[in-house]
Amino acid sequence: MKRSGNVRNNSGWWAKPGGKIEYGETAIKMVKREIKEETNINIEVWGQLPHTDHIIKKEGQHWVAINFIANYKKGALKNKEPHKCEEIRWFSLNKLPKKIEQTIKESIKNYVTGKYIKL
């Protein structure tokens, strides 16, 4: 998802779907819900990667991303948050855009090197 100019940080950068966890919600339920809400895609989570400390120094922000691995189940890819996201696309690992967020870079590195837990 390419972040639009309406977001508070990393405008113009590619990011993965995500958001706040609701009270009492598990992290796996949260990632399934957020991906469905933002992209119209249903997923099946099968693995967990190490978390990412996403620190944006110039903004004075520190975000913690819980990173999962999932398989696509169903749904047509759709930008359901056009106010936050100006574009949504699939990319192969060898053809990623240059401006990808730290959470994506670290997740890919950990996945490729086998640093994940099967759930």
* Residue-wise pLDDT tens digits, 90-117: 999 999 999 999 999 999 999 999 999 9
Whichever domain contains 24, its CATH number is 3.90.79.10
Domain of residue 40: give its range: 2-118
pLDDT in tens, 7-20: 988 999 999 999 99
Looking at the structure of the chain, the number of domains it has is 1
pLDDT of residue 5: 93
Tokens of 44: 């099946």
Please tell me the chain's helix, strand, coil percentages from 3-state DSSP, rounded to the nearest 5: 25, 30, 45
pLDDT of residue 83: 95
